[in-house]
Amino acid sequence: MHDQNQTPLYDALIHHMKQDPITFHVPGHKFGKVWPNKGLESFNSILSIDATEIHGLDDLHSPEGVIAEAQDLTSRYFGSDESFFLVNGSTTGNIAMILAICQRGDTIIVQRNSHQSVLHGIELAGAFPVFISPEYEVETGRYSKLSAESVQHAITMYPEAKAVCLTYPDYFGRTYDLNRVVETIHAHNLPVLVDEAHGVHFQLGDPFPTSALRSGADVVVQSAHKMAPAMTMSSYLHCQKDRFPVFKLKHYLKLLQSSSPSYPLMASLDLARYFLAQQTEDELRSTLAFIHEVREIFKKATSQWEVKPLSVYDDPLKMTLETREVPGFEIAQVLENLNIYPELATSNQVLITFGLSPHLDAELLKQRLDDVDSQLKNKEKRATIKIEQPSFPKIQTLDISYSDLEDSLSEWADWSKAVGYVSAEDVIPYPPGIPLLMKGERISNHHRKQIQSLLGQGARFQNERIGEGVRVVKGELS
């Protein structure tokens, strides 16, 4: 069965619901019949397909029926040897692919601006990460370009590496020449692992950047819920078998994923693949025309930001507002006060994310942006804090390995004393969830200033008491 018009898992759930089943199995809400009155109206339709592994509905961890069919359709659409449904988000996929390829002490080359889940996978594996930093691009105002030359340099320095793990695109939708990077890595017969969380829709082709699978990546993880119409936590993992142990991957997916996977999440993955496969050129043109209209509305709304132009390396579903005098965090707050919610903010940029079809009233957006200029001008008189983009060494390793950190004691240190010590925790602004300071990395005065400056501008961190200090490795002063 290869007909992309079909949605086997979703159809099986609807068929089961229509039988008006008498249920003596979990879940406890009994298809919505046991539920408080409060919230029933909101949840009722989704509860009707919130099933479990009964006859006819298959089993994610040993699929032979409708889940196997849905995953096979997904594999054929994306062009992989095998594809898997993830119900614990791309985090699970990133961790599983690293555990499948790395054993304790193994070296893995990894892009420095990777999501925290990639680092968590390396830590769980007890592997030795070698970080390669992207290059600074004036176009983006960020460290966003990874070159084949940088990757080649890292492989030459660490020929024992078992794999290279990349992030493509970055959170802002920026890509690089992945074809050349993959060719460089494959010339050394190393597998390429790609966190493509924000690029599931690249499969649609032009005008989107080339997808990681089409560039030859061996394992690709995609957050279907980020840019396609799938429920939050719903993701895909795609595999090519030549350079990657798929049998080990399946073991770790069983180990990491819930033994009671959500059927609504899996059904949404079935439907998201169907949605992508059914996209027509006319529908895509309509979406791009809508995005152009919204970009023009933002351009005309105020002189306090610049809408960054798109290049062939940019995802058209992402729009970056480059701030002029008011910090990005404050601009995001003003927008939220107007009930306009951006994806994320940095000190000098605000990210706007679009969907794959027109999804808002352009006139309503104009009305809500009417006040944005006056509100931002009132903030001009406030002193703004200018901070540099975080920069990292071109090639970097941890000062204390994850394995050694397991046997190390840690202690709390306020910022006045922490510089010079090795951090015992990742310091992570969220979003985007990329560590500014890594666990095992020595703390510099630059780290301290950046973290405190970001906090001063309103950045959120996934760390307790980060405004006061950080946990450091005891007795490891440089």
Q: Which domains does the chain have, with CATH numbers?
A: 78-275 (3.40.640.10), 281-377 (3.90.1150.150), 398-473 (3.90.105.10)
The mean pLDDT value for 273-302 works out to 97
Residue 380 confidence class, pLDDT cut points 50, 70, 90: low
User: pLDDT of 321-367, one tens digit each?
Assistant: 999 889 999 999 999 999 999 999 999 999 999 999 999 999 999 99
Q: CB of 85 within 8 A of CB of 250?
A: no
Q: What is the pLDDT of residue 325?
A: 86
Choose among 112, 65, 117: nearest CA to 235. 117
Torsion 227-79-60-255 (CA) sign: negative
Flag whether pLDDT at 381 surpasses 80.
Answer: no
pLDDT class of 443 with cuts at 50, 70, 90: very high
383 class by beta-carbon count within 10 Å (0-12 exposed, 13-18 middle, 19+ buried): exposed
Give 44-50 contacts, CB < 8 A, sequence gap 24+: 46/264, 48/17, 49/10, 49/13, 49/14, 49/16, 49/17, 49/263, 49/264, 49/267, 50/262, 50/263, 50/264
pLDDT digit string, tens, across residues 271-282: 999 999 999 999
- Please say if the pLDDT value at position 383 is more than 60: no
pLDDT, one tens digit per residue, over 158-215 is 999 999 999 999 999 999 999 999 999 999 999 999 999 999 999 999 999 999 999 9
Stretch (H or E) spanning 148: helix 148-157
The DSSP H or E segment spanning 82 is strand 82-86
By the 10 Å C-beta count (0-12 exposed, 13-18 middle, 19+ buried), 58 is classed as: buried
What does the pLDDT read at residue 417? 93
3-state DSSP assignment of residue 9: helix
Phi-psi region of 105 (alpha: psi -120 to 50; beta: other; left: phi over 0): left
Instruction: With cut-offs at 50, 70 and 90, classify the pLDDT of residue 384.
Output: very low
Interatomic CA distance for residues 262 and 229, integer angstroms: 16
> Any idea what DSSP says for residue 200?
G
Kind and range of the H or E run holding 111:
strand 107-111
Residue 301 · residue 369 · CB < 8 Å: yes
Which residues contact residue 199 at a Cβ distance below 8 angstroms, ignoring those fewer than 6 apart?
A: 168, 169, 175, 208, 209, 211, 212, 222, 227, 315
CA angle 392, 394, 134 (to 5 degrees): 75
pLDDT band at 386 (very low <50, low <70, confident <90, very high): low
Instruction: Give the chain's count of helices (H) and strands (E).
Output: 17, 16
Please list the residues that pair with 84 across neighbouring strands. 237
**Looking at 208-317, which runs of residues are DSSP E strands?**
219-222, 235-239, 305-307
Q: What is the dihedral of CA 151, 156, 161, 167, to 10 degrees?
A: -10
Which DSSP helix (H) or strand (E) runs through 395? strand 395-397
What is the Cα–Cα distance from 425 to 405, expressed in whole angstroms?
Answer: 10
DSSP string over 320-385:
EEEESSS-HHHHHHHHHHTT---SEE-SSEEEEE--SS--S-HHHHHHHHTTHHHHHHTTTTSPPP
pLDDT band at 478 (very low <50, low <70, confident <90, very high): low
Q: Nearest Cα to 98, choosing from 215, 204, 227, 195?
A: 195
219 contact partners, CB below 8 Å, separation of at least 6: 97, 191, 192, 193, 194, 237, 238, 239, 240, 244, 249
Tell me the two tokens of residue 92: 């699970």
Backbone torsions φ then ψ of 402, nearest 5 degrees? -60, -40
Position 2 pLDDT exceeds 90: no
Percent of residues, the chain, with pLDDT higher than 90 = 88
> Is 90 exceeded by the pLDDT of residue 389?
no
Model confidence at 456, pLDDT cuts 50, 70, 90, reads: confident
Question: Token pair for residue 475?
Answer: 């007795």
pLDDT tens digits, residue range 16-74? 999 999 999 999 999 999 999 999 999 999 999 999 999 999 999 999 999 999 999 99
Beta-bridge mates of residue 470: 413
Beta-strand (E) ranges in 112-224?
128-132, 135-137, 142-145, 164-167, 192-195, 219-222
pLDDT digits 0-9 by tens, 61-114: 999 999 999 999 999 999 999 999 999 999 999 999 999 999 999 999 999 999
374 pLDDT more than 90: no
